[in-house]
Amino acid sequence: MCRASRPAGRCLGCALLIVATASALQAQTPTTFIVDSPTMATGEMMPRDYSPDGRNVSPPLTWRGLPAGTRQLAVICQDHGAGNPPPWVHWIIYNIPGSASGLPEGIPFDSSDPMPAGLAGAAQGNNGWGLSMYRGPAPPGESLHHYHFAVFALDTELDLPPGLTRAELFEAIEGHVIGQGDMTPHYRRHPATDDRTP
Amino acid sequence: MADESPGRPRISRRDLLKTAGAAGAAALIPGAAAAEEASVAGTTAAALPPATVAPSGPLMNLTAREAEILSAMVDRLIPSDDMGPGALEAGALRFIDRMLSEAEADSVSAYRSGLAALDHYSRYSRGAPFVELSGRDKDSVLIDVQLGGATGAGAGFQGSSGSFFNMVKSHTWQGTFGDPSYGGNVNFIGWDILGYPGVRMRVSAEDQRLMEAGQLPPARRSAYEYGQFQMSGEED
């Protein structure tokens, strides 16, 4: 803060510095956009079909309000309450065209199966098990874990190879993230009383 | 789609097996014996019977239901495809069944409980018995079993589902790629999958050249057909 006794020029310099710092921070902070899902919501339980208690297929995601200039997107699903060190990565998918408005349920786990329409070029990275596919939550016992789906809007079209780790993806998109949206549903394994077995 | 992009050739499961298995299978050739026995050098694939389905017979240990589930699992681990037969045709199921009353007799209970748990987990998570699932769904179930996701919370496995998966995978590999004298690798199907040219006691320069060109006819002989090898318990 500038004191009244200080020269006016010094106060002006101080103000300019604050403005410049704020602008720089703004440039480094991605625009926030909305990430949603027709079947999940932040703070709510994920359906069991997105876990090994069910079909273990990837959940559908939608997004809107992407920043202008979005050319491509990347998605990570991670559990900050697991892993050594955390987070445990459940899913990575990138090279998603900027024209996509979301991901449908059930992205193929077999790389020989084609990606859904509108996702040409999308590739999956290695999760915590070292597999390039979605594998859903299976928290130990009856503990409740939170699953952070982070969607990154990029200002460029990268042609990244399949199988990148989280760290490799972050390195590849460094300097290109112009927006980020998130949702964080949670999951607890269903007890035996919920067994589907006839 | 990424897999169709130029410069990103697709690698099939069979290709991976060839890469991973060739070194292991090659280790069956004892270097010290390389100077002996050249009798197999002239063997040609054309003179050998074509690969056929493994002969059937009575199950020694598994029940019919257990064999049905195990058969479906083994078939997904090394499936037959348009490039040739897989683990079932190589006799891996019969190999495992027989082995359960021999070297792996201690594993009988692990197979019984594991196969029951696999089927339970399939019904629990996918709503149908394992054998009735599509190939893709069987694969998805087996990935969950491998990663431990089928353990606990009524899913089926009381212990680690990954341990069961690794046990079956290991035995399937043995029954497919091991020496035929142990009851698997029927008609050398496993060695053909790997592109393994077979046990040889001597490799000439010409053999080496043909092998590097992928033209060396396989020597379809068990190591125990050579005089210097004996199975355990067959000592003079």
What does the pLDDT read at residue A179? Answer: 96
Look at A135 and B144 and tell me if their CB atoms are within 8 Å.
yes
Is residue B192 situated within a structural domain?
A: yes
Q: Which residues of chain A does B5 touch, with a Cβ-Cβ cutoff of 8 Å?
A: 121, 159
**Is B154 in Cβ contact with A192 (below 8 Å)?**
yes
User: Is A187's pLDDT higher than 50?
Assistant: yes
Q: Report the CATH number at residue A101.
A: 3.90.280.10
Domain with B173, as residue range(s), is 17-30+51-225
Mean pLDDT, residues A43-64 = 97
In a domain, A24, yes or no: yes
pLDDT at A14: 43
Q: What percent of chain A has pLDDT over 90?
A: 78
Rounded percentage of chain A residues whose pLDDT exceeds 70: 82
Whether residues A12 and A64 share a domain: the answer is no
Q: Are residues A56 and A149 in the same domain?
A: yes
Coil, strand or helix: which one is B184? coil
- Two tokens at B99? 């082995």
Q: Does A53 touch chain B (CB under 8 A)?
A: yes
Residue A75 lies in a domain: yes
Query: What's the average model confidence in pLDDT over A127-132?
Result: 97
Interval B136-175: pLDDT, tens: 999 999 999 999 999 876 888 988 899 999 999 999 999 9
Residue B130 lies in a domain: yes
Smallest Cβ–Cβ distance between B125 and the set A54, A109, A133 belongs to: A54
Q: Does B205 touch chain A (CB under 8 A)?
A: no
Is B11 among the domain residues? no
* Nearest chain B residue (CA) to A108: B136
Residue of B nearest to A195 (CA): B124
Residues A101 and A178 in one domain: yes
Least reliable range by pLDDT among A64-78, A126-140, B155-169: B155-169
Cβ(A100)–Cβ(A157) below 8 Å:
no
Lowest mean pLDDT: which of A109-113, B53-57, B144-148? B53-57
pLDDT in tens, B134-145: 999 999 999 999
Q: Is the pLDDT of residue A86 over 70?
A: yes
The whole-number average pLDDT for the span B164-189 is: 95
Same domain, A6 and A67: no
Asked, for residue A198, whether it belongs to a domain, the answer is: no
Same domain, A4 and A47: no
Residue A135 domain flag = yes
Residue with tokens 């497919």: B176
Shortest distance between the Cα of A57 and any Cα of chain B, in A, equals 9
> Are residue A70 and residue A57 in the same domain, yes or no?
yes
- Domain containing A2 equals 1-30
Higher pLDDT, B43 or B15: B15
**Is residue B24's pLDDT more than 80?**
no
- Is B146 contained in some domain? yes
Confidence of residue B56 (pLDDT cuts 50, 70, 90): low
pLDDT band for position B226 (50/70/90)? Answer: confident
Q: What is the pLDDT of residues B69-127, one digit of tens each?
A: 999 999 999 999 888 899 999 999 999 999 998 888 899 999 999 999 999 999 999 99
Touching check for B136 and chain A: CB below 8 Å? yes
Interior/surface letters A160-186, b for 16+ CB within 10 angstroms, e for the rest: bebebebeebeebbeebbbbbbebbbb
Overall domain count for chain B: 1
Most confident listed range (A9-13, B45-49, B55-59): B55-59
Q: CA A2, CA A10: separation in Å to the nearest integer?
A: 8
- Of the pLDDT bands very low, low, confident and very high (cuts 50, 70, 90), residue B14 is low
Contact A190 B152 (CB under 8 A): no
Judge: B125–A56 Cβ closer than 8 Å, yes or no. yes
Cα dihedral angle (B24, B25, B29, B31), rounded to 10 degrees?
-30
For residue A197, tell me if it sits in a domain.
no
B216 vs A132, more confident: A132
Count the neighbouring beta carbons within 10 Å of the beta carbon of residue A27. Answer: 9
Q: What is the 3-state secondary structure (H, E, C) of A36-83?
A: ECCCCCCCCECCHHHCCCCCCCCCCEEEECCCCCCCEEEEEEEECCCC
Nearest to B153 among A191, A197, A198 (CB): A191
What is the model's pLDDT at position B13? 53
Residue B40 lies in a domain: no
Q: What is the mean pLDDT of residues A10-35?
A: 59
Question: How many domains does one find in chain A?
Answer: 2
Tell me A177's DSSP state. E
Bridge partners of residue A180, in order along the sequence: A32, A152
Q: How close B197 gets to chain A, by Cα (Å)? A: 29
Domain presence at residue A131 = yes
Same domain, residue pair A26 and A37: no
Q: Is the pLDDT of residue A47 over 90?
A: yes
Tell me, yes or no, whether A14 and A98 share the same domain.
no
A109 and A65 share a domain? yes
Q: Is residue B68 part of a domain?
A: yes
Helix, strand, coil proportions of chain A in percent (round to 5)? 20, 25, 55
List the 176-195 stretch of A: residues with Cβ below 8 A of B.
189-195
Inside any domain, residue A155: yes
Are residues A20 and A53 located together in one domain of the fold? no
Contacts of A189 in chain B (CB under 8 A): 152-153, 155
Using the Cβ of B144 and the Cβ atoms of chain A, whether some distance falls under 8 Å is answered with yes
Per-residue pLDDT tens for A144-166?
Answer: 999 999 999 999 999 999 999 99
Residues A175 and A89 placed together within one structural domain of the fold = yes
| From A53, A120, A159, residue closest to B153, measured CB to CB | A53
The nearest CA of chain B is from the CA of A87 a distance in Å of 17
pLDDT for B26? 30
Residue of B nearest to A163 (CA): B2
Q: Average per-residue pLDDT in chain A?
A: 87
Mean pLDDT over each residue of chain B, to the nearest integer: 78
Q: Does residue A19 sit in the same domain as residue A116?
A: no
